[in-house]
Amino acid sequence: MFISANIFQPLIDIFDHIIQFFHDSVGLSWGFSIIALTVVVRLVLLPLTVKQYHNMQAMQKLSPQMKALQNRYKDDKQRQQQEIMKLYRENKVNPFSSCLPLVLQLPVFISLFYMLRKDLKLDICGDQMARYLATHPHATLSGTACNTVAPGSAKFGFIPDLTASATGWVLAVLIVLYITSQLGSSLLMTSSTMEPTQRYLMLALPFVFVLFVIRFPAGLLVYWITTNVWTIGQQYVIRRKLGPTGPPGDAGGGGDGTSGANGSGPPPAPAKKDKVPAAAVAAAGPARSAPRPPPRKKKKRSGRRR
């Protein structure tokens, strides 16, 4: 093996076997094998994602109480944090569980990065890479793309080489797909009660990450775009099945409970007019009409008619 041992090596070996299985046994291309690996990882994390969504719903229900505590102890930040954590404990809510699926995806991302730089190159290029390195002493495995030693071996769609950084119009298309999918997943992950500053930060992060992803192997962008598209579909299905994360009355745009999650609901009942009993009307006698104003006198016209 050309890769040095590191803390991600066990994950690298597992993911390498999974990708090889989809390529060798199922018959998928290397690009579709990376997409299949993405789907497997997201399916494994699905129970944690559902738990994360339930936790977000619980936190949104506690939002009015949290705001009340923040206003009550706005001059004592330490006491404010203590009371909020106490509120979490009493309602069995873990504020950090919402970050767990994202944190668990980071080792996958880093492992795939190492795979595309070294291990997966050996799987894709095969013996041609080994012969090239043997005849070029100054060449390195991480710095040599598969397209250099075996042209077309790592091609996927419009991407000429999954193991190398994309350039030109290929990079431009990947960046557009990445930003679009990342913004879509971020908008679905943010809640309506999130602070505006946090919302703007989440929407700005994809543009900041562009400075880094342009140097990654193209296969890593394929993984990232796939997981963003999965997140969009997953959040849509979860919201349809489990309901919105906002507090009651916030999902339909009104807090009075007259509208549901889809903005429709039973219309408010019209106000009832007070009925006067018939006996009281008879006792009061016929209603007197208001006196008419005196008729206005017509003014006489002076002068001859034309």
234 within some domain: yes
User: Which pLDDT belongs to residue 97?
Assistant: 65
Tokens encoding 242: 């489990």
67 within some domain: yes
275 within some domain: no
User: Which pLDDT belongs to residue 250?
Assistant: 45
How far is residue 175 CA from its own chain's centroid? Answer: 18
User: Which pLDDT belongs to residue 190?
Assistant: 63
User: Which pLDDT belongs to residue 253?
Assistant: 39
Listed residue (105, 116, 121) closest to 46, CA to CA: 105
User: Which pLDDT belongs to residue 264?
Assistant: 40
294 within some domain: no
Provide the domain limits for residue 125.
9-242
179 within some domain: yes
Number of domains in the chain: 1
User: Which pLDDT belongs to residue 291?
Assistant: 52
37 within some domain: yes
274 within some domain: no
User: Which pLDDT belongs to residue 15?
Assistant: 93
pTM score, whole prediction: 0.70
User: Which pLDDT belongs to residue 269?
Assistant: 46
> What is the mean pLDDT of each successive set of 10 residues along the chain, which is 306 residues long?
63 92 94 95 87 76 81 81 81 71 82 88 87 88 88 93 93 94 80 64 84 91 94 86 58 39 42 47 47 54 48
184 within some domain: yes
